[in-house]
Amino acid sequence: MTELKEDERLDYLLAEELRIIQSPTVFSFSLDAVLLARFASVPKTRGSIIDLCSGNGVIPLLMSAKTSVPITGVEIQERLCDMAVRSIQYNKLDDQIKMVNGDLKNAPELLGMEKHTLITCNPPYFLTPSDGELNMNEHVAIARHEIKCTLEDCIRSSSRLLKQGGKAAFVHRPGRLLDILTLMRKYRVEPKRLRFVYPKHGKEANTVLVEGIKDGAPDLKILMPLYVYDEKGEYTEEVRTLLYGGEPPFLRR
């Protein structure tokens, strides 16, 4: 039986019929992680996947239901990495998913340069305050703020890990979109697909999903917008599909 520590709990990943260890004071994944796992072009049977800023392993777990290729999660926080390892063990996915407790900046040397098919990354969204003051616990602060890595670190390492023609997918805030696109091109990951996520109709986008190809030709496609809530304040049909099962329209090819 999988051991739960302190205030940890076992939650469901309903669409995949998997369980994941979470903690309200250490780490709980957000909808952004689900969106990224669904958005990324996951290889089915050939290649390898690296998930950077892996947290409690939610993205590797979600992607495992769509592919048979090996997946490696990289997480710098030992406690979060341990949660991911125990979730992987609980779901009996040890043969497919591995976790590395380490700095993503060292991932290319550790996991292999220019050899992987897909890199996913849900990086810290916020810059570290200039005064260094963060009113939250250490685990949350590191997950949310650029304390251990910057956006450039994430994109640089993604490029170094990717083989030519491989893909990298990121989720972030729209306010950093120009930074993301500029850095992707700087590190030879040509932006190819972009999708804005809106809380609901009439609101500004609060999330952006971007995928690029290593050394790809310029040709950026802007996908249909995704709305999270409908006029009743309930999840839209597409978001319900993402969370609870089925194939959403934007992944049908």
End-to-end CA distance of the chain: 40
Q: Could you list the residue range(s) of the whole structural domain that residue 136 is in?
A: 9-188
pLDDT in tens, 118-142: 999 999 988 876 655 665 678 887 7
- Supply the pLDDT for residue 131: 54
Other CB atoms within 10 A of residue 1 CB:
4
pLDDT in tens, 153-177: 999 999 999 999 999 999 999 999 9
- Supply the pLDDT for residue 147: 82
Give the phi and the psi of residue 153 in degrees, each rounded to 5. -55, -45
Position 252 in a domain: no
pLDDT in tens, 228-238: 999 999 999 99
Residue 27 to residue 91: CA distance in whole angstroms: 19
- Supply the pLDDT for residue 140: 80
- Supply the pLDDT for residue 15: 82
Give me the helices (H) in the chain, please. Answer: 31-39, 58-64, 78-90, 107-111, 138-144, 151-161, 177-186, 237-244
Position 225 in a domain: no
pLDDT in tens, 16-46: 889 999 998 888 999 999 999 999 999 999 9
Position 203 in a domain: no
Which has the closest alpha carbon to 185: 157, 204, 213? Answer: 213
Mention every residue, 6+ apart, whose C-beta is less than 8 A from residue 97: 57, 60, 61, 64, 70, 71, 72, 73, 88
Position 4 in a domain: no
Rounded mean pLDDT of 45-68?
A: 97
Domain at 117, CATH number: 3.40.50.150
pLDDT at 91 > cutoff 70? yes
This prediction's pTM: 0.92
Could you give the number of structural domains in the chain?
1
The share of the chain scoring above pLDDT 70, in percent, equals: 93
- Supply the pLDDT for residue 134: 64
- Supply the pLDDT for residue 84: 97
Residue 73 to residue 71: CA distance in whole angstroms: 7
- Extract the runs of DSSP E, i.e. beta strands, from the chain: 9-13, 18-22, 49-52, 71-75, 97-101, 116-121, 162-172, 189-198, 207-214, 221-222, 226-227
Give the phi and the psi of residue 168 in degrees, each rounded to 5. -130, 135
Residue 120 to residue 39: CA distance in whole angstroms: 10
* Coil, strand or helix at 145: strand
Position 218 in a domain: no
Position 177 in a domain: yes
